[in-house]
Amino acid sequence: PVLAPGNPGEWDDFTVASPWVLRESAGGTARYRMWYRGCRGTGRERACAIGHAASPDGLRWTKTARPVFEPPSAIERRQLRGVTVVRRAEGYLLWYSLTPELFNKGKASTLHLATSSDGLRWEAAGEVAEASEHLPYPIEPSVLDAAGTLHLWFVDSLRHLEKDNYAEHEGAPYLRHFTSSDG
């Protein structure tokens, strides 16, 4: 593995997941930066946050000792799932998803934005999108900045439970696409 969970008692000792990597160049030297979801504990005791690691080659990674972003509430820290990051001239944008509690019917997964000037200190900016299904499917976002237009994709199953099986909605697009100039 290139990035393993932390040692027992560390904030990411249970799992590391949902990595997002950017390659950055400064003064002719390239480095890689990774943001990832790290979790400790299990079940109701679970808490997740977003960590950061850096690498000169994409193979050997050095993690920061503490998470760089934690969702505002304890409930949201249990619900944290997907992560994606983009760098722009004015700083970094990070989208993260929250799934609803498993048995909380009538709620959908949501996508939130956080901003940072350096990729290490983040400020939550609020919810930006919601999945179409009111079920605990995680949103796994992906983003690309193409000439100033942000393109955001995520899978949205658009399925509903009928009897004992999930059925597709008529004309369901499984991959959603959004564009934005500011995130």
In 47-164, the DSSP E strands lie at 47-55, 62-63, 80-88, 91-98, 110-116, 123-130, 142-146, 149-155, 159-162
Would you state the structure tokens that stand for residue 1, as one six-digit string? 């593995």
Residue range 121-130, pLDDT digits in tens: 999 999 998 8
Distance, in Å, from the CA atom of 118 to the CA atom of 181, rounded to the nearest integer, reads 20
pTM of the model: 0.86
36 contacts 50 by C-beta, under 8 angstroms: yes
- Residue 107: its pLDDT value, please? 78
46 contacts 40 by C-beta, under 8 angstroms: yes
Q: In tens digits, what is the pLDDT along the chain, a chain of 183 residues?
A: 899 999 999 999 999 999 999 999 888 888 999 999 999 987 667 899 999 999 999 999 999 999 999 998 988 998 899 999 999 989 999 999 998 876 655 578 889 999 999 999 999 999 998 887 666 677 888 899 999 999 988 877 655 555 566 566 665 557 788 899 888
Amino acid occupying residue 69: F
